[in-house]
Chain A
Amino acid sequence: MYIEPAAIRDVLTWLKDAPGQQYNYLVDVTAVEYRDPERPLELVYELFSLERRVPLRVKVELSKDRPLEVDSVVPIWRGADWLEREVYDMFGITFRGHPDLRRILMWETYGEGHPLRKDFPLRGRFSRSEQVRQALNIRPEAHYSMEELSIAEAYRDLPADIQERLRKGERGVIPEPPREPS
């Protein structure tokens, strides 16, 4: 079943709560990019009704011409939290209203793009030696998110130069490569 991107939250809320529907269990959230570059990205929601024992697959098509943005369903299902983070990490789809949209499987300062996109080469954008160089250059502040550094005195304990860089909004050492519009 395909639905409009703008209607996603209303439709899924209705599917969850309406008496005849009761698709109250969110099985999975994922995305598909086809090999044909003309086809839009698809966002896939797998639902299941625990009362009626029936599955339903809901899809949203996201055109690549426009920014990949869609409403988050975390207000409906808390379980969508990590699933949407994974889709964001792997496909670059932004979820509006997500409480904590960060990369999840790749590290937060990862700058090579979104691995499951078809324009992402299998072995990554950078050479092996470049990847090793970046891995060795990881600075301690890259291991903690800003939120975590604001717990206790962790921020104050950092060396002065890192504090200075963080204050400017720099985190990690790896610049994002320019991404051509696909």
Chain B
Amino acid sequence: MSAKRTVEFELATTGVGPHGQPVRVPLGVGPATGGDDDDVELGGHHMLLNLGPQHPATHGVLRLVVELDGEVVVRVIPHVGYLHSGFEKLGEYRHFNQLIPLTDRTDYLSPMANNVGLTLAVEKLMGIEITERCRVLRVIACEMSRIISHLVWMGTTAIDIGAFTPFLWTFYERERIYNFQEAWTGARLTTSLTRVGGMMADVPDGWVDGLREWCRNFPKTLDEVDRVLSRNGIWCARTQGVGVLTAEEAINFSLSGPMLRASGVPYDVRKDRPYLGYEEYDFDVPVGEHGDVYDRYLVRFEELRQSTRILEQALARLPDGPVNVDDPRVILPPKSAAMSDMEAMIFHFKQVMEGIKAPVGEAYFPIENGKGELGYYIVSDGTAKPVRWRIRPPSFINLAALPKMAEGCLLSDLIAINASVDIVMGEVDR
């Protein structure tokens, strides 16, 4: 007997959903032909596999419902939203400076870049010109964030594919960056580094020398990871030719960051829509050829080297001078002045109680963070609280291409592809 055992469905429209959309109901489910269980042909049945939301290889609370034909993925249906916190709603009830802690918690693997992006958007809306020292410090913050973001990606992806050692090396370096972050902001994860018009704090004494020393040593770790992974037979076999997206598809899916560049599109917000004076730094934008997981690895790897180059240049040019703009309407007066000077106290009071008022208008400001183009779109009606603030979440948009990439691959490749997207569920779900 070779009659394939199939399941036939009659999808009938019997109900109407809450929004008037038809609800399709499978009817008559069951084996279509009367063959008994003994002559089941392998591969006849599709299987429904639920992956996540609690699964170490989904990098957070991502849930994938996978339709499998044997070991081959027929279809992937991602479910997101398990970490939805309503930041965009919450932000409508908060002052602009109070949005900054919310941005920490979106992409929590590169919090400093998120802080910078938000304040740049608010400053664009208000027309504030920040000081030169602040600009360079923000570049340093962005590049440190990119480095820790890529290091986490590299370590965890290597673990997903079965290589444990690089994880230890990359997390060692990430830990050292976290030490710098802690010395600067007092926090390792929720940095809340920036303020509208400046920074929460200047860097402490000796910090710049420490980071310079780190920049000198870091490429050695990169070389070690390079030696272990880049020409490793298992790594290449698991990543090359897996999850391929062409340049047209990548643009069509609105991908950004390393995902887009690995497909051969040289779009980098730092080069194409420069901010913070990135056009004055000397760095290259790595671009892949094949658009597979391996090229995404190579692109991120090279970005680590380029970010180190930018860090070195930024540290070399870091000028003296004030960090915050000289404008008592947006920057809190020093505590000593607020306690002794009447005028300073009034400014302090008005800022804390009423917040900083933005003019009527709107601004969209994109920055390149580790995951891709992170944009903040802020609409103001003239009060101290935004009418709408929108995070353009790079990993949410990149993740939308997962069903396309995973079509027809093996289940084990799905893990590699999902890892290559570099998602952070805090940002996907916001």
A positions within 8 Å CB-CB of B: 24-28, 30, 32-36, 44, 46, 50, 53, 55, 57, 77-83, 90, 94, 101, 103-107, 111, 115-116, 120, 122, 144-156, 166-171, 176
Give CA–CA (A155, B362) in the complex, Å: 48
Indicate if the CB atoms of B18 and A106 lie closer than 8 Å.
Answer: no
**Provided the pairs A30-B390, A148-B77 are in contact, do residues A25 and B377 lie with their beta carbons within 8 angstroms?**
no
Residues of B close to A44: CB separation below 8 A? 377
Q: List 8 A-B contacts (CB under 8 A).
A: A33-B387, A50-B272, A103-B81, A104-B81, A146-B26, A150-B29, A166-B25, A170-B15
A169 touches B273 (CB 8 A): no
Known: A151-B67, A152-B48. 6 other contacts (CB 8 A): A27-B254, A28-B392, A34-B381, A82-B396, A105-B80, A107-B81
Tell me which of A32, A36, A77, A111 contacts B252 (CB under 8 A).
A77
Across the interface, A151 reaches (CB within 8 A) one of B14, B48, B388, namely B48
Judge whether A146 and B25 touch: CB under 8 Å: yes
Which residue from chain A places its CB closest to the CB of B46 in the assembled complex? Answer: A152
Min C-beta distance of B293 to chain A, whole Å: 20
Task: Name the CB-closest residue of A to B396.
Answer: A82
Q: Is the Cβ of B29 less than 8 Å from the Cβ of A46?
A: no
User: B275 interface residue, CB < 8 Å from A?
Assistant: no
Answer yes or no: B265 CB below 8 A from chain A CBs.
Answer: yes
Contact B252 A46 (CB under 8 A): no
Q: Any chain A CB within 8 A of the CB of B187?
A: no
Are A176 and B26 touching (Cβ within 8 A)? no
Are the CB atoms of A167 and B14 closer together than 8 Å?
yes
Flag if A24 contacts B251 (CB, 8 Å): yes
| Stretch with Cβ within 8 A of A (4 or more), from B82-90, B152-160, B334-342 | B82-90
Chain B interfacial positions (CB closer than 8 Å to A)? 7, 9, 11, 14-19, 21, 23-27, 29-30, 45-48, 65, 67, 75, 77, 80-81, 84, 86, 88-90, 93, 249, 251-255, 265, 267, 272-273, 362, 364, 366, 373, 375, 377, 379, 381, 387-388, 390, 392, 396-397, 399-401, 404, 429-430
Partner of A148, one of B48, B255, B390, B400: B48
| Chain A residue nearest in CB terms to B388 | A32
Complex: A111 Cα to B19 Cα, angstroms: 10
Give Cα A35 to B21, complex, Å: 29
Q: Which residues of B contact A122 (CB under 8 A)?
A: 89-90, 93
Most chain B CB neighbours (cut-off 10 Å) among A27, A107, A120, A154: A27
B89, chain A: closest CB distance, angstroms: 6
Contact across chains for B273 and A53 when beta carbons are under 8 A apart: yes
- Within 8 Å by CB of A145, from B75, B77, B396, lies B77
Across the interface, A169 reaches (CB within 8 A) one of B25, B81, B388, B396, namely B25
Given A46-B377, A78-B253, A167-B25, do A32 and B387 touch, yes or no (CB 8 Å)?
Answer: yes
With contact pairs A25-B251, A28-B377, A79-B400 given, residues A50 and B265 touching in the complex (Cβ less than 8 Å): yes
Interface pairs A-B: 10 shortest CB-CB:
A169-B15, A79-B254, A105-B81, A82-B400, A150-B26, A176-B18, A79-B253, A169-B23, A105-B84, A151-B48
In this complex, which of A83, A94, A120 has the most chain B Cβ atoms within 10 angstroms of its Cβ?
Answer: A83
Please judge, given known A-B contacts A122-B89, A152-B46, A154-B48, whether A101 and B253 are in contact too, CB under 8 Å: no
B326 CB to nearest A CB, Å: 31
A24 / chain B contacts, CB cutoff of 8 Å: 251
The answer to whether residues A27 and B251 also contact, given A79-B400, A167-B14 and a CB cut-off of 8 A, is no
- Known contacts A44-B377, A46-B375, A169-B14: A79-B80 contact under CB 8 Å: no
For the complex formed, measure the closest distance between the CB of B423 and the CB atoms of chain A, giving whole angstroms. Answer: 13
Q: Which residue of chain A has its CB nearest to the CB of B404?
A: A78
B255 proximity list for chain A (CB < 8 A)? 79
The contact of B9 among A46, A150, A176, by CB within 8 Å, is A150
Report the separation of the CA atoms of residues A132 and B265 in the bound assembly, to the nearest whole angstrom. Answer: 47
A163 to B362, CA, bound (A): 50
Residues of A within 8 A of B47 (CB): 151-152
Specify the chain B residue showing the minimal Cβ separation from A102: B21
Assess whether B397 is in contact with A83, with CB atoms less than 8 Å apart: yes
Known contacts A146-B25, A154-B48: does B267 contact A77 (CB below 8 Å)? Answer: no
Known interface pairs A30-B390, A170-B15, A176-B18; A79-B267 also in contact (CB < 8 Å): no
The 8 Å CB contact of B7, one of A101, A105, A153, A166, is: A153
Q: Are A115 and B26 in contact (CB under 8 A)?
A: no
A26 to B390, CA, bound (A): 15
Q: Is the CB of A94 within 8 A of B26?
A: no
CA distance A20 to B159 in the complex (A): 47
Complex interface: chain B residues within 8 A of A167 (CB): 14, 25, 27
Q: Are B23 and A146 in contact (CB under 8 A)?
A: yes
* CB–CB A152/B251 < 8 A: no
Q: Are B29 and A153 in contact (CB under 8 A)?
A: yes
Closest to A176 in B: B18
CB distance from A47 to the nearest CB of B (A): 10
**Contact B29–A30 (Cβ < 8 Å):** no
Instruction: State whether B88 touches A116 (Cβ < 8 A).
Output: yes
What chain A residues lie within 8 Å of B48 (beta carbons)?
Answer: 148, 151-152, 154
Cβ A144 vs Cβ B14 within 8 A: no
Closest to B74 in A: A151
Cβ–Cβ contact B81 & A156, under 8 A: no
With both beta carbons as reference points, the residue of chain B lying nearest to A170 in the complex is identified as: B15
- Give CA–CA (A84, B253) in the complex, Å: 13
Chain B nearest CB from A105 CB (Å) reads 4
